[in-house]
Structure 1
Amino acid sequence: MANAPGLRESKKQETRQLISDCATTLFIERGFEQTTITEIATAARVAKKTVTNYFPRKEDLALDHHEAFTQGLARTVADREPDETPLAALARARRAALLEHSPVIGFTGPAFARMVADSPTLIARLRELHDQREEALAEALATAAPGSDSGPAQAIAPRAAAALIAGADRLLFRRIQELTLAGRTDDEIEAALIPEADHVDALLAAALEAA
């Protein structure tokens, strides 16, 4: 009986992944807007309510890394090494994600990238997620900044820094998607993006140091 909660949680994760996989297959085959929740439930052999319990928004069936995406930058700042600056930690994490070809930063494969690009709903949802990512980063930077309550200039600084960092992050995400749709392999995208990311990080360091 001691193992029951673990088994239940494992079963929930399996069901969630099954629903997500079936949804992704249907979205790619038919298009996001054209696929219904009922069709996804049928493909996954679960009740329609089961689908909506796991994924309250249809968009989350396609963009199922949304929590890791929105909280990723903030967690990197919060979990950085004691002697590491937020910007250095973010640069390190970005490079690691590029080397891993992480789907969280845009490595999704051509079929998935095309499905997203063809869906106004998913494009709008991505904008929302990028905005949430920036907001979470701003909060993490405010927590990390010494003397953040000492005046209006200090209070706005984390938000300004987050806007710059998240904007650069959004640009690199779009670059990965663009190159994917252009037919480049993940290895080719990595090779192209590593120097671009390094250049962006240098620009951010210069801008934030001058601020």
Structure 2
Amino acid sequence: MAEGLRERKKRQTRQHISDVATGLFMARGFEAVTIAEIAEAAEVSVNTVYNYFPTKEDLFVDREEEVVDRPSRLVRERPPGRSAARALMDQLRQDIRERHAYVGLSEGYERFRQVIVESPALMARLFVIQGKAVHQLGVTLREEAGAAPRDPTPEFIAHQLVGLQNAVLRSIIRGLSEGGGVDQVAEDALREVDVMESLLSDTVLNYAVKNTP
């Protein structure tokens, strides 16, 4: 269905507010910026900001739903014959090789990372997002594997796979903050993915292999 004028204007307004807020956060830090300042810079009312973004954290993580769903989406879209774990690790390696923002290797990410680590509110929100991703991936794995309702395996595997990705991201951030070049940090990260994969059990590595049609 084609997007109507009203929906398009709402989407554009939301994006405009988000872009303005991001610019202010990058310039001054998350904690230093108020909703009133964002509203003034975006030339909208404070109530309009809150209509689109219930909390200030929502302005910074306006792609939260996409981030939460990404592991599950990659599992759902994996090719036949591929397990859930290998689908996620394949994508992780690709993100590293392509220097993607998802793994913190894109240009300009350093300031983004700095804003997050300097804000207790954003660090807490990041923890919540990671928990949501684990939960959603667990639901997806249960569906994909046809696991019994009381089988805890999908949730346990979801914790391992999301934890693996988070460990690699932390390693990348640490490497960059210590002055490592992007290419060297990426090489190190790829080796770490190999090590982590070697530590996963066969059960995890071969869980939820997609059937061939």
Q: Which TM-score tier does this pair reach, normalised by the shorter chain?
A: 0.7 to 0.9
Counterpart code for 1:92: D
Report whether the alignment pairs 1:49 with 2:47: yes
SS at match of 2:200: helix
Within 5 Å, give how 1:118-133 maps onto structure 2. Answer: 118-133=118-133
7-16 or 81-90: which moved more?
A: 7-16
In structure 2, C-alpha distance between the alignment counterparts of 1:97 and 1:164, rounded to whole Å: 19
- Structure 2 counterpart of 1:68, from 50, 66, 69: 66
Considering only aligned residues, what root-mean-square deviation do their CA atoms show, in Å?
A: 2.5
Q: Distance in 1 between the 2:12 and 2:197 partners?
A: 38
Tell me, yes or no, if the aligned pair for 2:74 and 2:88 is still in contact at 8 Å. Answer: yes
Superposition map of 1:123-202 within 5 A: 123-146=123-146, 148-149=147-148, 152=150, 155-202=151-198
Partner of 1:114: 114
Residues matched between the structures, number: 205
Separation in 2 of the partners of 1:186 and 1:14? 34
Higher relative contact order, structure no. (Cα contacts within 8 Å, ≥ 6 residues apart): 2
Unaligned runs of 5+ in 2: 208-213
Q: Distance in 2 between matches of 1:188 and 1:88?
A: 24
TM-score normalized by the length of structure 1: 0.84
Distance in 2, matches of 1:66 and 1:210, equals 29
Alpha-carbon distance, 1:205 to partner: 4.8
- Give the distance between the partners of 1:28 and 1:168, measured in 2 at CA: 28
Which piece of structure 1 moves more, 46-55 or 135-144?
A: 46-55
2:126 is matched by which residue type in structure 1?
L
Counterpart for residue 93 of structure 1: 91
- The 1:43–1:160 alpha-carbon spacing in structure 2 relative to 1, beyond 3 Å, is same
Quick one: which of 15, 18, 26 aligns to 1:17? 15
- 1 CA distance for matches of 2:80 and 2:133? 23
| CA distance in 2: counterparts of 1:37 and 1:61, whole angstroms | 10
Consecutive unaligned residues in structure 1, runs of 5 or more: none
**CA distance 1:11–1:92, shift in 2 (3 Å):** farther
Q: Distance in 2 between matches of 1:194 and 1:13?
A: 38
Instruction: Please state which structure has a larger fraction of its residues in helix.
Output: 1
Shift of 1:29: 2.4
Conserved 8 A contact 2:85-2:204: no
Bigger drift between 176-185 and 117-126 goes to 176-185
Give TM-score, length-normalised by structure 2. Answer: 0.84
TM-superposed deviation, 1:79: 1.4
Contact 1:22 1:44 in 2 (8 A): yes
8 Å contact from structure 1 (residues 24, 61) kept in 2: yes
